[in-house]
Chain A
Amino acid sequence: MNIFVNEQALEVAPDCNIEELLEVLDKPLQGTAVAVNQNILSRSLWGDYFLQEGDQISLFQAIAGG
């Protein structure tokens, strides 16, 4: 199944949820925010949302800043 993560095409296994996606991408769960097709997905729903063909996933990360 093909999706896009921050505009980059990516092939993932079917039945992959957001938590599993972050694991595959080796991204930390802490300090991360996720939007699916421009809608912010609450952290509590990451295990429940299963990726769909063509999904546009946006990943954001807390970084240093003033």
Chain B
Amino acid sequence: MLFNEMVDNDQLVIADKTFTSRLFTGTGKFNDQQTMVDALQASQSELVTMALKRVDMQHKDDDILAPLIKNGMNLLPNTSGARNAKEAVFAARLAREALQTNWVKLEIHPDPKYLLPDPIETLQAAETLANDGFVVLPYVHADPVLCKHLESAGCAAVMPLGAPIGSNKGLKTMEFLEIIIEQANLPVIVDAGIGSPSHAALAMEMGADAVLVNTAMAVAANPVAMSEAFAKAVQAGRQAYLSGLAGQVNHAVASSPLTAFLEAE
């Protein structure tokens, strides 16, 4: 098969869905709804996350859902705000009713400062939700052992973090992400901390199946242009991975012939 065909046919399958784009996005932190819709379109993303909250009876919320559905986005509700497995399972079941999808991004981060995911509660909730027919994508620390447990629990993918949510610090957990990718028999989506297109490209070059980006797009000076830059970076990183990266060595390896042309033979 020609390389171009290989790239064209390179689709990501998670549970019952097939994705052409390996860039997943969040809907938070955009200044306004139109910018969000334009940015998500520019990103070419086919899966976008949403949160759920208790309705404020005093105020009318913006209808964020209609434009996303109109643009053919698949919705991935999260369980943000849940502090333990019990709350996360309740949130997932509410989200299933609200958005009519059994997909859920399972996130349980009780600590508000670093928003680091609780591994014990997450594994417990993942088991319950997978048994209940959910397509579970858990947000976790870059812990290879935990990711294997989540695989055994029936998760559809794992979403290890690069750095704390919204920190834009990049792949601080890189060496552990590499182990997770090496060992995984399910898609690995690098989530959280990806702050620039180069971070996203690096994750894809390492063999991640997809990345999830939100803050870096939403709070950029030009969110729409930045989302397009992320789309290109993810495509470039994926193509580089499929092309087989040249290895690294600690000494120089000449790219030009080293014949001493100024001297006579």
Interface residues of A (CB under 8 A from B): 5-6, 8, 25-28, 30-35, 40-43, 58-66
Q: Interface residues of B, CB < 8 Å — how many?
A: 38
B43 at interface (Cβ–Cβ under 8 A)? no
Out of A27, A42, A58, A62, name the residue touching B99 (CB < 8 Å).
Answer: A62
Inter-chain contacts of A41 with B (CB < 8 A): 97
Smallest CB separation, A66 vs chain B (Å): 3
- Complex A-B, nearest 4 residue pairs according to Cβ-Cβ distance, in ascending order: A65-B51, A66-B26, A66-B214, A33-B98
Are the C-beta atoms of B51 and A64 separated by less than 8 Å? yes
Inter-chain contacts of B51 with A (CB < 8 A): 62-66
Smallest CB separation, A2 vs chain B (Å): 15
Give the residues from 108 to 126 in chain B that come closer than 8 angstroms, CB to CB, to chain A.
none
Of chain A, the residue at the smallest CB distance from B29 is A66
Smallest CB separation, B25 vs chain A (Å): 8
Smallest CB separation, A23 vs chain B (Å): 14
Are the C-beta atoms of B98 and A62 separated by less than 8 Å? yes
Which of B12-20, B53-61, B150-158, B226-234 faces chain A?
B53-61
Inter-chain contacts of B100 with A (CB < 8 A): 43
B65 at interface (Cβ–Cβ under 8 A)? yes
Inter-chain contacts of A6 with B (CB < 8 A): 54-55, 57
Given A62-B50, A64-B36, A65-B28: A35 and B94 interface contact (C-beta under 8 Å): yes
Given contacts A33-B98, A65-B26, 19 further A-B contacts (CB under 8 A): A28-B63, A31-B98, A31-B99, A35-B94, A58-B54, A59-B55, A60-B55, A60-B98, A61-B55, A62-B64, A62-B65, A63-B50, A63-B64, A64-B26, A64-B64, A65-B51, A66-B29, A66-B212, A66-B215
Of chain A, the residue at the smallest CB distance from B212 is A66
Out of B27, B75, B98, name the residue touching A32 (CB < 8 Å).
Answer: B98
Are the C-beta atoms of A65 and B50 separated by less than 8 Å? yes
Are the C-beta atoms of B54 and A63 separated by less than 8 Å? no
Smallest CB separation, B211 vs chain A (Å): 13
Alpha-carbon gap, A32 to B78, bound state (A): 14
Given A30-B65, A32-B98, A40-B93: A65 and B55 interface contact (C-beta under 8 Å): no
Of chain B, the residue at the smallest CB distance from A28 is B63
